[in-house]
A and B are shown apart, each in its own frame.
Chain A
Amino acid sequence: MYFEHPLKILKYSAKNIWLLIFPLLRGIYTYHFDKNWFYSWAKGAWFDIAVLGAIIIFGFVRWFFSRIYFTDEELVHRDGVFLRIHTYIPFRNISSVTVERPIYMAPLRAMRFRCDTRAGIFKTVDLKLLVSDKTRRHIMEHMLDIDAKEKIEGIPQPNVWSILMFSIFFSSGFSGTVYLATFFFKGGDIAYNIISRSLNIITIETAKITEKLVLKIPTAAIFIGVFFIASWFLSFLVNLFRYGRFTIECDKSCMKVRYGILDRKEYRIKNSHINYTDLRQNLIMKLFGAVAVNISCAGYGSSKNRLPVLLPVKHEKKLGKNLQVIGIYSGIKNDYSAQPAGIGSYLLIPLIIAALIIPSHDWVARLFPRFAELSFFVAVMLEIPAVWFIIVKFVALLTSGVALYDDKIMIRCSAWTRFHKVVSERDKIVKMELEQNLLQALSGRCAMSIWFEGEEHRRFKIKAMKASDVRKIADILGYELAEKVKA
């Protein structure tokens, strides 16, 4: 039997922190209604100490009843003081285990342990514990691990360059903004003053330069731009620290992934529980033949702001044959492709969006002449991603399709501005859909969607497929799709 790390007492105690309302009320009362308020407050301090003691005792009792056991086949966690909660997790059903060592817990030798099975519909963790290094070692003895004799050699290890590229491609202005906003809210006035002062200086300086260059960019737009660049850079740094020192080891049944510079994480993943492998690209990565390999497996990359990345940016041709064990094949061509004649289903919406931006600026400029300059700037700024979106969708039309080989299925598709190459075993498909409107029925085309096993029910949709091809695919996969929609 093992206990969680004593640090957990603080976390359990924190749940009863609301009890501090009583000392607070007492303090307010004595301050307002008593002449010798300090004396009265100090005289009754025993009450505050008693409340604080009660909070810590509650935390201790809760910690004392949180125990970890093992049997030959399962991990058992007992929790709860009044209601006893026993969680039994068979080792054979564990899909992934995670050990996280945050730097601030390092002096206390505490670490977070998580284990996950394929149960449930949300990306929730099945068991979360705060353990000591000793307990972690004992738990990990029972967990899946790599057999040193059967270890697959030649797995491409991500280098500094690939982590850097990954951090550049997968850092977004939005998430950076969220970080900054959190910083503003939590850091309070001091952080607000520092950042706003710095931004003001940058904005004033940039405004001077633009004035000199006779570029009539509104100050508000410069401010927003600087803000987004700064937030993107912050997001980039966070990703760099998060995915730095990335290593991957693998045998036929298990995979071990470690990453993180400050918060070191170690994952052990059961290969047979990987739902699918997703080779992601954006347009720039596609041009250079680079991919980021992600996997879908319960518990992997399910924490907040984490990506289920297995190989940060790598050249697709350099992935090698050693990764076939986890479903990563290269050089496979589509057996069934999207039809170029179905160009409308890919380009119609992007073209409409791109075409509407400039007229929208004209309307805004007529209605609000004061904002004409800003509106023009916004229109230009929106037109750039709109044109980019058209190019992405055109490339998606040329590359989307399905390949069937061995017992695997490979789907090439796109979602927003990302390209996906999804590889999985055929028997991991849980749902297939053929979608056809009347126009598509006339032309014999349709959209095909496929869902794979997993906690997250994710749809992979390929538009403009030939309906007869989709029926053939369904037939091979053992699905029976309804007859053609009658026009």
Chain B
Amino acid sequence: MKQYYPDRHCLTTMRLIITAAVVIILWAVRYFIPIEKIVMLSIVVVISIACFEMFVHLPMFFNSISYSATETEVTKSSGVFIKVHQSVRYSSIQYTTRISSPLSQYTGFNFIIFFVYGGQLRLLFLKRSDADEIIRLSGSISVKED
């Protein structure tokens, strides 16, 4: 059995994305809302939510995710407040989708979705090498690169 953990690069990428989103929202708020008090309140609320997400929730979420793969099945453990364990046998996988961003080895944006009878199992924020290995372990598909 082998354990896999989310790529920590992804946490940084997510923080950068959230920061960019916050900047755009704040710019829009300042541009469109003429009332200073509402602008200030919006700034405080948006920054608070972003800080909570970036420095509290996301790190906890990333720490809570782990994947384990054996020769017959893959298991996902996740959940910050409620722990969820999901297992899927490779034999029940009907088809697979792999989603990756450009430069995914640096961003950690590699996702695998196993579509099985009655649902799906999503493996999120994997390292590219881990994603390749899990796909190879699942045995049903070949890894293709552009």
A residues in contact (CB < 8 Å) with B: 69, 71, 73-74, 76, 78, 80, 82-90, 93, 117-121, 126, 453
Contacts and interface: CB of A to CB of B under 8 A. Distances in A.
A76 B141 CA distance: 9
B129 interface: no
A84 B112 CA distance: 12
B120 A120 contact: yes
A357 to B, nearest CB: 42
Interface in B36-94: 93-94
Contact of B94 (A73, A78, A119, A453): A119
Contacts of B100: 83-84
Nearest to B97: A87
A93 B99 contact: no
A74 B97 CA distance: 12
A82 B97 contact: no
A444 B96 CA distance: 49
B95 A90 contact: yes
B144 A85 contact: no
Contacts of B29: none
B136 interface: no
B94 A88 contact: no
Interface residues of B, number: 22
A85 B99 contact: yes
Contact of B141 (A82, A85, A90, A118): A90
A85 B119 CA distance: 19
A380 to B, nearest CB: 47
Contacts of B117: 118-119, 453
A73 B93 CA distance: 14
B6 to A, nearest CB: 17
A86 B97 contact: yes
A117 B96 CA distance: 11
Interface string B104-140: 0000010000011111100000000000000000001
B57 to A, nearest CB: 23
A89 B98 CA distance: 11
Interface of B: 93-102, 109, 115-120, 140-142, 144, 146
Contacts of B142: 71, 73-74, 88
B130 to A, nearest CB: 16
Contact of A118 (B94, B99, B101, B146): B94
For the complex of A and B, the 6 pairs showing the least CB-CB separation, nearest first, are: A119-B94, A119-B115, A117-B94, A88-B141, A89-B95, A86-B98
B88 to A, nearest CB: 11
A121 B95 contact: no
A35 B72 CA distance: 75
30 contacts: A71-B142, A78-B144, A78-B146, A80-B99, A83-B101, A84-B99, A84-B100, A84-B146, A85-B97, A85-B98, A86-B99, A86-B144, A88-B95, A88-B96, A88-B140, A93-B94, A117-B94, A117-B115, A118-B117, A119-B94, A119-B95, A119-B117, A119-B120, A120-B115, A120-B119, A120-B120, A121-B118, A121-B119, A126-B95, A126-B115
A82 B101 contact: yes
Given A93-B94, A119-B117, 6 more contacts: A82-B102, A83-B99, A87-B96, A88-B96, A90-B95, A119-B115
* Majority SS at the chain B contact face: strand
B78 to A, nearest CB: 20
A280 to B, nearest CB: 25
Contacts of B109: 83
Contacts of A118: 94, 117
Most interface-central of A84, A89, A119, A453 (chain B CB within 10 A)? A119
A88 B115 CA distance: 10
B124 to A, nearest CB: 13
Most interface-central of A87, A88, A118, A121 (chain B CB within 10 A)? A88
A423 to B, nearest CB: 21
Contacts of B146: 78, 84
Given A82-B102, A83-B100, A126-B115, A117 B144 contact: no
A121 B96 CA distance: 16
Most interface-central of B101, B120, B144 (chain A CB within 10 A)? B144
A90 B120 CA distance: 16
Contact of A119 (B98, B102, B116): B116
Given A74-B142, A126-B115, A93 B98 contact: no
B115 A69 contact: no
A87 B99 CA distance: 9
Given A119-B117, A120-B119, A87 B95 contact: yes
A130 B99 CA distance: 21
Contacts of B101: 82-84
A76 B118 CA distance: 22
Contact of B144 (A76, A83, A126): A76
Contacts of B96: 87-88
Nearest to B104: A84
A116 B100 CA distance: 23
A122 B87 CA distance: 20
Contact of B140 (A69, A90, A126): A90
A453 B118 CA distance: 9
Nearest to B95: A89
A268 to B, nearest CB: 17
B142 to A, nearest CB: 5
A195 to B, nearest CB: 45
Given A82-B101, A83-B100, A120-B115, A93 B95 contact: yes
A49 to B, nearest CB: 28
A120 B116 CA distance: 6
B95 to A, nearest CB: 4
B93 to A, nearest CB: 8
Nearest to B119: A121
